[in-house]
């Protein structure tokens, strides 16, 4: 029984974090709730005996992506959100309807289809670090190398895009932006 | 070589660490309340009044001339003269202060009062544990708390004290010689002249 | 002598034995948690006082000796002071993040102790991805540091948090890379297997510890440098550089929350030190076969305290690094050397199999050492070159 | 392990729709990115769920998929946020509605 309680606990934590991440006004709180949701998900993976994925999720999402999001917020002064601005875009009713529709068409097949009801999970999997290593290096060595290539490309691309291009527009682009609400600064 | 600076630094602190347990004179800290460093002779904190002999009221050297009161830059000395007079160390009748207060929270230990005092009566003390619980009451020292014996003075400022004592002894002996001469002279011509009034030097 | 070695394990089984069968798993984990917390709690108290005394002795002064016999009750005094101090929360800060930051920092670090083997079969949980779990927990503390810096809503703490996060991220890469050759040679991520791989002695004398191999020594030094940076200590304590930005991300904290940060920092140091002992100094193995009779957890404690003394010694000696020096040291010196170390470890492993000629052990040592030393010095010289360029000052226009 | 597979799938469906709603409704571009991350995580949860309850867990295909998808999601997040910073530098705003002019 204890594994049920932990599952429901972690599921509640993850869902609460996700909903809070999408609905709070202060962006920094949103990112922290999102990090909470990712950590809850890592807990669920660990509970599903997928140790490596759970720990990787913890390392990548809670450790790196959350910090990345926070740095972006600080670099784009998104934190001091002007109080007047609306939280949700204008046509929110249709958006909400569509997402409800998405939810329904996902949940209905899950609940009705007979195949997904089997109770007991298939036996405890043996320690699988070695097997993951062999699979990574054996069967999926091509995806591994391409992911490595992709990660380096993404690394360089991100740096080049986000770099403060002093050369192109001269040093003055480094001037901190002005904060008056609504005043449209001249497009450079 | 890479990192050699770090290694040299580590050896230095390592030697300090090991040495501090074996070489006693490496650690120079004085554990204050238990061990106390003897103060320098010319250290000064707040003034005090010197008295001769053992009775503070009688032997007080101060003659309430209020020069120190006028000279004190922060004006922290307050004197009221007493009506009566008492003989000083030479036997001459001198005034003495009824009230002699020093506000040590105002005093800035400049030592000017000690310099200007003609009667060597106010000197600079070396005691520094002056803190007290009441802010105003106990930081205003009265004549009784200020008066300290001459041998205390001799203990804390040995050179000045001996010089002053020698000088006072000399003036005292000169005064006595004159007094004896005056006493002898009137004995001789006492017959022809009327008795003169008391001799004032 | 083995019962002395297993004294804690037998104690645990005895305590668990007292409880009915259904509760036994819960009670055993509870007892283990309690044990780890008390041991490292007292270790924390001791280290605060020992650190100040050792620092004092290295600077030709005594260090705190007023509270208790030669200052041993100082942590009690510090604790009472910390707990009774008023816990000021600045008005403009958002209370939730301000309150959560110390918790998010300290709780993961306590989790990190779950995977560390303190003695022969004295590991709380033997995850087979133990090392990865440890680094994942370590990386969660960056978010907490940012939360602390952000919560105060003041420039100094945000600046301190930015420095701290930049430092911790850029030093996590060499930290993980330094641990990779150990995993390569041990063939497993589980810390128990890594300690097992370091058992046994060469020719009855030298223990088979990783630190005695050329790549192991280089990885150990890099691991220690990255560990000091990861726990914001001594030459890398830029985040709370007192002279520059008050107390960095700790500026807005006082009383109990400040004590929690203090605890978090020291627990981080203990976790990283025990990992260094497990990875490089042969965990709980005795250095010489003749010393086998001493219990295994005693050896772990000895190596642990030796490393802690080393950290304090470094703190007493080295001045603080400038921000650009610190970052260039990480990216331009440690990361390339760590990658090179992988190569050296591979050569070491490969040359281990083939016994070409009798003196091959010494040649093998020299070859691997050469792969590391010459580029290291070359990189080091370029590092000094970095700071040799005169600093340009941009005055406000 | 008595919790059936459908619970995990319902949870991932919920996560997916919350992420989708956030990405569609919120105006701040950073929250759109967080929404996308949530959707990706929901997909990962499905992979691991099916792997764990699947016929032969020793095949590890689900785990492989999840690992690669986490790595790629991290790369995508990095590039996405770099784009946000670049856009911010020219537009001085992060409100999604104001990215309407295709002018360079």
For residue B29, what pLDDT is reported? Answer: 85
| Ordered DSSP codes for C221-271 | HHHHHHHHHHTT-GGG--TT-TTTSTTGGGTT--HHHHHHHHHHHHHHHHH
A83 close to D (CB below 8 A): no
Residues of chain B with pLDDT under 50: 193-196, 198-201
Is residue D19 within 8 A of residue D36, CB to CB? The reply is yes
Radius of gyration, alpha carbons of chain D: 17
Closest partner CB to C136 (pick from A28, A59, A128): A59
Does C275 fall in a domain?
Answer: yes
Distance CA D66, CA D60 (A): 10
User: Helix (H, G, I), strand (E, B), or coil: what is residue C216?
Assistant: helix
Domain end point (choices C294, C315, C331): C331
* Residues of chain A with C-beta less than 8 angstroms from the C-beta of D34: 21-22, 30-31, 34, 69
| Pick from D18, D56, D68: CB nearest A22 | D18
Highest mean pLDDT among C1-5, C122-126, C131-135: C131-135
Q: Is residue C62 part of a domain?
A: yes
- Looking at B50-157, list the stretches that DSSP marks H as alpha helix, in order from N- to C-terminal side: 56-59, 67-71, 112-116, 143-146, 150-156
Q: Which chains are within 8 Å of C by 3+ CB pairs?
A: A, B
Size of interface A-D (CB pairs under 8 A): 252
| pLDDT per residue as tens digits for the range C304-320 | 999 999 999 999 888 88
Q: Which residues of C touch A (CB under 8 A)?
A: 94, 96-97, 100, 127-129, 132-133, 135-137, 139-140, 142-143, 146-147, 150, 158, 162, 165, 169, 188-190
pLDDT of C287 higher than 80: yes
- The CATH fold assigned to A1-82 is 1.20.120
Q: Cβ of A129 and C129 within 8 Å? A: yes
Residue in chain A closest to C100 (alpha carbons) equals: A32
Name the minimum distance, in Å, from the CA of D30 to any CA of chain A.
7
Structure tokens at C358: 């009798």
Which of chain A's residues have a Cβ under 8 Å away from the Cβ of D66? Answer: 45, 50, 53
A89 contacts D97? CB cut-off 8 A? yes
Mutate to test the interface with B, among C54, C57, C377 (most CBs of B within 10 A): C57
Report the distance separating Cα D1 and Cα C396, nearest Å. Answer: 65
Nearest CA-CA distance, residue B135 and chain C, Å: 26
From the CA of A176, how many Å to the nearest CA of chain D?
10
Give dist(CA C34, CA C31) in Å, integer: 5
Q: Establish whether chain A is in contact with chain C, requiring a minimum of 3 CB pairs below 8 angstroms.
A: yes
CA distance linking residue C182 with residue C175, whole number of Å: 12
| Amino acid C358: pLDDT | 64
Q: Are residues C293 and C174 in the same domain?
A: yes
Residue of B3, B6, B20 lying closest to C60 (CB–CB): B20
A157 interaction partners in chain D (CB closer than 8 Å): 79, 82
Burial class (CB in 10 A: 0-12, 13-18, 19+), C359: exposed
- Average confidence (pLDDT) over D51-78: 86
pLDDT at residue number A78: 63
Q: Tell me if chain C has a CB within 8 Å of the CB of A70.
A: yes
Give me the pLDDT at residue B138, please. Answer: 86
The answer to whether domain B47-169 has CATH 3.30.70.3270 is yes
Q: Identify whether residues C251 and C266 lie together within a single domain.
A: yes
C158 in the same domain as C300: yes
Cβ atoms of residues A14 and A41 within 8 Å: yes
Mean pLDDT of C3-32: 86
Q: Is the pLDDT of residue C207 over 50?
A: yes
- Asked whether residue C49 falls in the same domain as residue C102, the answer is no
Q: Looking at CA atoms only, how far is residue C173 from chain B in angstroms? A: 21
Clarify whether residues C73 and C52 are in a common domain.
Answer: yes
Q: Determine how β-strand B77-81 pairs with β-strand B97-103.
A: antiparallel
C140 within 8 A of A58, measured Cβ to Cβ: yes
- The distance from CA D35 to its chain's CA centroid, rounded to whole angstroms, is 6
Question: Residue C100 belongs to what domain range?
Answer: 88-331
**In the listed set C331, C360, C389, which residue is the last one of a domain according to the structure?**
C331
Res C275 pLDDT > 90: yes
> What's the rounded Cα separation, in Å, for the pair A74 and D66?
30
With a CB cutoff of 8 Å and minimum separation 6, the contacts of C35 are: C8, C12
Give partners of B (≥3 CB pairs < 8 A): C
C156 and C24 part of one domain: no
Tell me, what's the pLDDT at A170?
Answer: 42
Cα atoms found within 13 Å of the Cα of residue A26, Cβ hemisphere only? 10
* Burial environment of residue C172 by CB neighbours within 10 A (0 to 12, 13 to 18, 19 or more): buried
Measure Cα distances from A57 to C155, C171, C237, C280, D52 in Å.
32, 20, 29, 27, 17
Instruction: Give the pLDDT confidence of C110-127 residue by residue, as tens digits.
Output: 999 999 999 888 888 888
Would C311 be classed as within a structural domain? yes
**Same-domain status, C143 and C50:** no
Distant-in-sequence contacts of B73-77, Cβ < 8 A, 24+ apart: B73/B108, B73/B110, B73/B112, B74/B106, B74/B107, B74/B108, B75/B106, B76/B102, B76/B103, B76/B104, B76/B106, B76/B107, B77/B47, B77/B101, B77/B102, B77/B113
Contact: C165, A67; criterion CB under 8 Å = yes
Residue of C nearest to B24 (CA): C60
Q: Please tell me the distance in Å from A62's CA to the nearest CA on chain D.
A: 11
Tokens for D33?
């990115």
Within 13 Å and on the Cβ side, how many CA atoms surround B50? 26
Q: Is the CB of A51 less than 8 angstroms away from the CB of C127? A: yes
C-alpha–C-alpha distance, residues B78 and B69, integer Å: 6
User: CA–CA separation, A154 vs C191, rounded Å?
Assistant: 33
Q: Which of C320, C306, C250 is nearest to C273 (CA)?
A: C306
d(CA B146, CA A5): 80
Q: Would C374 be classed as within a structural domain?
A: no
Query: Is the four-CA dihedral B1, B5, B11, B12 of positive or negative sign?
Result: positive
| Annotated domain spans of chain B | 47-169
Write out chain A's pLDDT in tens, 188 residues: 667 888 899 999 999 999 999 888 888 889 999 999 999 999 999 888 888 899 999 999 998 899 999 888 888 876 555 555 666 767 778 888 888 998 898 888 888 877 665 655 566 666 678 888 888 888 888 999 999 999 999 999 988 888 776 654 444 444 444 444 444 444 43
Average pLDDT, chain C: 85
The number of beta carbons lying within 10 Å of the beta carbon of residue A105 is 11
Transcribe C278-323 into DSSP letters: HHHS-TT--SSGGGGGS-HHHHHHHHHHHHHHHHHHHHHHPPPPPH
Q: Examine the fold and report which residue of C299, C331, C363 is the final residue of a domain before the chain moves on.
A: C331
């Amino acid at each position: 029984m204890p594994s049920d309680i932990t599952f429901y606990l972690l599921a509640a934590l993850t869902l609460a974090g996700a909903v809070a991440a999408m609905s709070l006004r202060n962006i920094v709180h949103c990112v922290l709730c999102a990090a909470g949701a990712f950590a809850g998900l890592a807990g669920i993976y660990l509970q599903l005996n997928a140790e490596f994925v759970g720990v990787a999720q913890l390392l990548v999402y809670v450790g790196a992506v959350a910090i990345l999001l926070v740095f972006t917020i600080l670099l784009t002064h998104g934190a001091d959100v002007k109080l007047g601005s609306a939280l949700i875009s204008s046509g929110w009713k249709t958006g909400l309807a569509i997402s409800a529709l998405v939810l329904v068409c996902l949940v209905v097949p899950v609940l009705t289809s007979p195949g997904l009801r089997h109770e007991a999970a298939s036996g405890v999997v043996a320690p699988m670090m070695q097997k993951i290593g062999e699979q990574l290096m054996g069967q999926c060595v091509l995806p591994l190398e391409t992911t490595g290539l992709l990660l380096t490309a993404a690394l360089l691309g991100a740096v080049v895009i986000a770099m403060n291009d002093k050369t192109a527009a001269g040093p003055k682009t480094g001037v901190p932006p002005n904060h008056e609400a609504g005043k449209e600064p001249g497009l450079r | 070589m890479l990192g050699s600076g770090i290694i040299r630094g580590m050896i230095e602190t390592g030697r300090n660490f090991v040495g501090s347990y074996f070489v006693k004179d490496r650690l120079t800290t004085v554990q204050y309340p238990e061990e106390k460093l003897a103060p320098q002779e010319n250290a000064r904190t707040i003034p005090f009044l010197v008295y001769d002999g053992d009775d503070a009221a009688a032997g007080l050297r101060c003659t309430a001339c209020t020069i120190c009161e006028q000279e004190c830059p922060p004006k922290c000395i307050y004197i009221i003269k007493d009506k009566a007079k008492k003989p000083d160390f030479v036997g001459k009748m001198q005034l003495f202060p009824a009230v002699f207060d020093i506000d040590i929270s105002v005093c800035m230990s400049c030592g000017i009062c000690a310099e200007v005092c003609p009667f060597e009566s106010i000197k600079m003390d070396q005691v520094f544990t002056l803190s007290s619980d009441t802010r105003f009451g106990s930081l205003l020292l009265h004549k009784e708390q200020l008066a300290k014996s001459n041998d205390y003075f001799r203990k804390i400022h040995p050179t000045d004290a001996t010089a002053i004592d020698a000088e006072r002894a000399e003036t005292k002996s000169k005064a006595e010689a004159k007094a004896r001469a005056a006493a002898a002279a009137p004995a001789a011509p006492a017959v022809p002249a009327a008795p003169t009034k008391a001799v004032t030097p | 002598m083995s019962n002395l070695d297993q004294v804690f394990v037998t104690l645990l089984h005895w305590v668990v034995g007292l409880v009915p069968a259904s509760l036994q798993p819960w009670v055993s984990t509870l007892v283990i948690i309690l044990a780890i917390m008390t041991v490292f709690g007292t270790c924390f108290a001791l280290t605060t006082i020992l650190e100040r005394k050792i620092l004092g002795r290295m600077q030709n002064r005594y260090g705190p000796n007023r509270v208790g016999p030669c200052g041993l009750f100082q942590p009690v005094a510090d604790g009472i002071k910390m707990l009774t101090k008023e816990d000021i929360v600045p008005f403009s800060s958002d209370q939730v993040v301000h309150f959560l930051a110390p918790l998010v920092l300290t709780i993961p670090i306590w989790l990190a102790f779950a995977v560390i083997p303190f003695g022969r079969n004295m590991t709380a949980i033997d995850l087979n991805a133990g090392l990865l779990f440890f680094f994942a927990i370590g990386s969660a503390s960056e978010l907490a540091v940012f939360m602390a810096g952000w919560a105060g809503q003041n420039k100094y703490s945000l600046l301190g948090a930015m420095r701290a996060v930049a430092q911790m991220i850029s030093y996590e890469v060499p930290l993980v890379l330094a641990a990779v050759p150990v995993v390569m040679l041990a063939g497993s991520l589980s810390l128990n297997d890594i300690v097992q791989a370091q058992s046994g002695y060469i020719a009855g004398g030298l223990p088979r510890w990783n630190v005695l191999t050329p790549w192991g020594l280089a990885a150990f030094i890099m691991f220690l440098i990255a560990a000091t940076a990861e726990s914001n200590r001594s030459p890398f304590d830029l985040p709370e550089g007192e002279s520059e930005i008050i107390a960095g991300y700790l500026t807005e904290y006082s009383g109990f929350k400040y004590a929690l940060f203090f605890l978090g920092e020291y627990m981080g140091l203990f976790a990283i030190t025990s990992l260094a002992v497990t990875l490089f100094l042969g965990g709980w193995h005795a250095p010489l076969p003749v010393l086998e009779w001493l219990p295994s957890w005693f050896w772990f404690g000895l190596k642990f305290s030796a490393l802690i003394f080393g950290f304090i010694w470094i703190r007493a000696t080295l001045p603080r690094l400038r921000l650009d020096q610190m970052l260039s040291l990480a990216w331009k010196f440690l990361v390339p050397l760590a990658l090179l170390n992988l190569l050296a470890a591979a050569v070491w492993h490969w040359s281990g199999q083939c016994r070409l000629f009798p003196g091959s052990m010494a040649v093998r040592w020299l070859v691997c050492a050469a792969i590391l030393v010459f580029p290291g010095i070359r990189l080091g010289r370029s590092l000094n070159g970095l700071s040799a360029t005169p600093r340009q000052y941009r005055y406000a226009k | 392990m008595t919790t059936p597979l459908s619970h995990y799938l319902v949870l991932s469906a919920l996560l997916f729709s919350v992420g989708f709603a956030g990405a569609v409704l919120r105006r701040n571009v950073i929250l759109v990115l967080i929404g996308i991350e949530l959707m990706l995580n929901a997909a990962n949860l499905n992979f691991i769920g099916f792997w764990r309850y699947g016929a032969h867990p020793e095949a590890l295909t689900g785990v492989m998929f999840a690992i690669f998808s986490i790595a790629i999601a991290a790369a995508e997040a990095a590039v996405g946020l770099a784009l946000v910073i670049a856009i911010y530098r020219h537009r001085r705003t992060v409100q999604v509605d104001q990215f309407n002019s295709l002018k360079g």
